Amino acid sequence: MRASCLKNFQTGKASDAEAGITPAPAGTSSPHGKLPLQPGEVILSGFLSPMERAVFRAGLAARRPMIWVKPFGLAQGGESAAIQTAIAEDRLLILSPFDDAIEAPSARRAVWANHYVIANSTRLAVGHLNPDGMLACLLCETPPDLEILYL
């Protein structure tokens, strides 16, 4: 567990090592550049924030395999031709435990989606982290051997 992580994120005094931060390798990523994917990796996300949605669009365009963990029903949001093509080509898997009557994410369901992504990942890439946000809290509870790449 990264017990001191939340306190350090809030004070801004954590060293990279204390916070479990692995800097992105030179030339492999930037907030607006190439995604830091290794061979055989998929993009796994809830794709809720504007940055995550940009990653989703880039993943579709680059024909990357992705798993969309939806914090709302399966029937919403998958109508576009690009999404339907990715599903048909087995490049996109959409998961949700929520009823189709749930048409929009809530904060509670978004936390569930983030927790699911973290629990089912062997390596994370974080493009933006609000030190006071829920993601920072969730990341503090990750196993110490989980690689977290902060872009």
Integer Cα distance of 11 and 20 in angstroms: 15
What per-residue confidence (pLDDT) applies to 29?
40
What per-residue confidence (pLDDT) applies to 33?
53
Sequence length of the chain is 151
Question: 0.85 exceeded by the pTM?
Answer: no
Confidence of residue 132 (pLDDT cuts 50, 70, 90): confident
**Residue 91, both tokens:** 């490049």
Check residues 19 and 68 and name the one with the higher pLDDT. Answer: 68
Integer Cα distance of 19 and 109 in angstroms: 26
Confidence of residue 34 (pLDDT cuts 50, 70, 90): low
Residue 28 pLDDT greater than 60, yes or no: no
Confidence of residue 84 (pLDDT cuts 50, 70, 90): very high
CATH topology of domain 40-150: Rossmann fold (3.40.50)
Check residues 15 and 59 and name the one with the higher pLDDT. Answer: 59
Closest by alpha carbon to 92, among 119, 74, 73?
74
Average pLDDT for residues 140-148, to the nearest whole number?
88
Contact 91, 62 (CB under 8 A): no
Average pLDDT for residues 39-47, to the nearest whole number?
86
What per-residue confidence (pLDDT) applies to 133?
85
Residue 88 pLDDT greater than 90, yes or no: yes
**Residue 150, both tokens:** 């902060």
What per-residue confidence (pLDDT) applies to 66?
92
Residues 6+ positions from 92 with CB-CB distance below 8 Å: 60, 65, 66, 67, 68, 83, 86
